[in-house]
Amino acid sequence: MVPNRPFRPEPQGARDRLLEAGVKLVRRQGFAGTSVDQLCSAAGVTKGAFFHHFASKEALGVALAGYWSTSTGGFFAEAPYHHHARAVDRVLGYIDLRIALVGGAPEEFSCVAGTMLQESFRTSEPIRRACEASIMGNARALEADLAEAIADAGVTGTSAASLARQVQTVIQGAFILAKSQDPAESAATGREALGHLRRYFELLFNERGRENAP
């Protein structure tokens, strides 16, 4: 898979254009910093069209989390790492793809759901729930491969669900740390964090020992 392949198809209709505008604006300036007027201007629609599709800005935030989840979920579901025969290679392939996707400025690779959640987890329960569903849905998509890798390697003391949540913990934390850096260093900071995650799984599933075996 080419890392810069678009996550989402070209938007069709006013609703999709507003959601696509939301992705770009929220990544760049946050949910609170994005106004309805800015969304309409970026989408090329009227404010009347906005309120035809969304009862409020909060309603757009809820829909945006779902839009992000559906589009990114489809992207990862079609990724070539699924074709690996060994579960551990599928898990490492997923992390490799996440590393490859971290490039440019943070607004080009950060998570819309994670960004909205950081701002809205105490001010909007509907947005919090929608973002939780997006992030945890991404985690659950990795659970089957993790469960198989755990069984294959004889790992004890953890579960696929717990490891899947840890993957999201590192990914979301990597995005936050990347945002804290000078733009020229942000992507490298994010990739570094995900590289440590990869090495953790190599050690957990004894891949380092396998690679060094005679």
Instruction: Note the pLDDT tens digit of each residue in 134-193.
Output: 999 999 999 999 999 999 999 999 999 999 999 999 999 999 999 999 999 999 999 999
The answer for residues whose C-beta is within 8 angstroms of residue 140's C-beta and 6 or more apart is 161, 164
User: Looking at the whole model, is its pTM more than 0.75?
Assistant: yes
**101-122: burial string, b at 16+ Cβ within 10 Å, e else:** bbeeebbebbbbbbbbbbbbee
CB 65 within 8 A of CB 56: no
- Domain architecture of the chain: domains with CATH: 57-204 (1.10.357.10)
Residue 89 phi/psi, 5-degree rounding, is: -70, -30
- Counting Cα atoms < 13 Å in the Cβ hemisphere of 149 gives 28
As a whole-number percent, the residues of the chain with pLDDT over 70 amount to: 93
Q: What is the pLDDT of residues 64-85, one digit of tens each?
A: 999 999 999 999 999 999 999 9
Residues in the chain: 214
Q: What is the pLDDT of residues 128-150, one digit of tens each?
A: 999 999 999 999 999 999 999 99
CB 107 within 8 A of CB 187: no
Map 175-199 to HEC letters: HHHHHHCCHHHHHHHHHHHHHHHHH
CB 111 within 8 A of CB 67: no
Amino acid 207: pLDDT: 84
